[in-house]
Structures are given as structure tokens and as C-alpha cells.
Chains A and B, each alone.
Chain A
Amino acid sequence: MGVRLFSEPFDPWSVVRERERALPMEKLGAASVFVGRMRDFNDAQDIRGMFLEHYPGMTERELERIVAEAQSRWPSITCEVAHRVGSIDPADTLVLVAVWSAHRVAARDACAEILERLKHEAPFWKRERLGDGSERWVESNTPGT
């Protein structure tokens, strides 16, 4: 399984291509890829940037656990998960979840499940920098939006 944290900007499509070079693509009829990027707005406020705090050690363990549990539920899948930490600018990629499988349903369902669990279980915290220079912690992720 592949779980990676990036402290600098990363290109999600390069991560996907790099992983695909090592996969038996003739066996994998489906790929489901989610890329989450930082918006420059949230709760009707302009956002200039953010800092993503994490819990070194536990964050990697949680991501690996979430991927392992998805692989138990959908044994045919192969996964790559990447997440940014540190100082982030609007339009930077925050998260990549890529899932390959022989068929579409496992790839699509596992990708959605991994993303939702990541958002509610992996220890990351967003601190936003607003247009007026003030900062605020994001209090919670909204379910399913």
C-alpha cells in the first residue's frame, strides 16, 4: 500500500502515474481518483492560506489502517493515498485518494470510503488565514459535502 505525506506542493497526477508504472495495468480495468484542493473561500470568507497541523506517527498509522481496512473489505483493490501538511496556498492539492481494481464498483466505493474515513479519523487540523490577516481553526468537517 502507498501512504505519503508531503510538506511541499505535490502533483497528484505524477503520483498516480508513478504508481501505475509499478502496477499490472492489464489487470486493472478501473481507477477511481479523488483530488482535493484548497479553496480560497470557506463559510463566506476569503481564505488566503492555511496551515495543516498533524500528529506525526499517528497520522501515518491512521492512513495505513484506513487503507488496510478498505483492502480487507474490497480485496481486489490497490490504493495510493497522499496528503499535504504544513503551509498551504489556495489551489494546492490537499489530498489524493487513488484506487485501482479490476472492476469499477470496488474502485469507486473504496475511494469514497477511504476519503470519508480520512476526513473523520486521520489526525489533521486546518488553521485558516483570512483576508484580513486573522486566523481561525476549522472546527469540523461537514459530512458528505
Chain B
Amino acid sequence: MVINVQYFARLREDLGRDGDQVAITEGIDTVADLWRHLHREAPPPRLMVAVNQSHARLDTAIADGDEVAFFPPVTGG
């Protein structure tokens, strides 16, 4: 299972990269699982998430080929 992970804004700068390509075998069922797998810690407070370019939650299930984006609170307008 391959997940395309993207980071935006301050999160991208703090992590020092635009994203990650993750090959996952088992035990990674949700967005929160994916974050813990990648960063070895709980998701930070106020983290926003999108799956396949739609707003999602930490308990949203993920599947092979998904695009998962993590970003800080949005500040447009």
C-alpha cells in the first residue's frame, strides 16, 4: 500500500520537506496511524488533515493510493 503524504505552510517548513511517499504493509488504518508511523509521536494539536483533497479527521480510514495532506489551521480570505 502506497500513500502520498503532503505537508503545507509552517508544517512543511518545520519538517523540512514537501511530503513523504510511504509504503505501508499493516497496522496503518487511519490518518492518525499514518502520522504516528511517520513521526513517532501523537499528532500535534490543531493539526488539519485532508484525504484525497477533501477535509478529513484523524480517525478517517486510509487506503492504497490515497493522497493525505497535513497542514496547520488555514488563514485565507
Instruction: Report A's interface with B, CB cutoff 8 A.
Output: 36, 52-55, 57-58, 61-62, 83, 94-95, 115, 118-127, 137-141
Instruction: Report B's interface with A, CB cutoff 8 A.
Output: 6, 8-10, 46, 50, 53-55, 69, 71-77
Are B55 and A53 touching (Cβ within 8 A)? no
Residues of B within 8 A of A55 (CB): 6, 8, 50, 53, 69, 71
Partner of A125, one of B6, B50, B55, B74: B74
Are A119 and B76 touching (Cβ within 8 A)? yes
Are A125 and B77 touching (Cβ within 8 A)? no
Least CB separation from B50: chain A residue: A58
Residues of A within 8 A of B75 (CB): 119, 124-126, 137-141
Least CB separation from B55: chain A residue: A121
Q: Smallest Cβ distance from B65 to chain A, in angstroms?
A: 15
In the complex, given contacts A95-B76, A123-B74, A141-B75, what are 16 additional A-B residue pairs having Cβ atoms less than 8 angstroms apart? A55-B53, A61-B53, A119-B74, A119-B75, A119-B77, A123-B69, A124-B76, A124-B77, A125-B71, A125-B72, A125-B75, A127-B9, A137-B75, A138-B75, A139-B72, A140-B73
- Complex Cα distance, B73 from A122, in Å, reads 10
Residues of A within 8 A of B72 (CB): 125, 137, 139
Least CB separation from B14: chain A residue: A137
Are A95 and B77 touching (Cβ within 8 A)? yes
Partner of A58, one of B10, B69, B77: B69
Q: List 28 A-B contacts (CB under 8 A).
A: A36-B77, A54-B76, A55-B8, A55-B50, A55-B53, A55-B69, A58-B54, A61-B53, A95-B77, A115-B77, A118-B76, A119-B77, A120-B74, A123-B8, A125-B9, A125-B71, A125-B72, A125-B75, A126-B76, A137-B72, A137-B75, A138-B75, A139-B73, A139-B75, A140-B73, A141-B74, A141-B75, A141-B76
Q: Smallest Cβ distance from B37 to chain A, in angstroms?
A: 22
Residues of A within 8 A of B46 (CB): 140
- Complex Cα distance, B72 from A95, in Å, reads 20
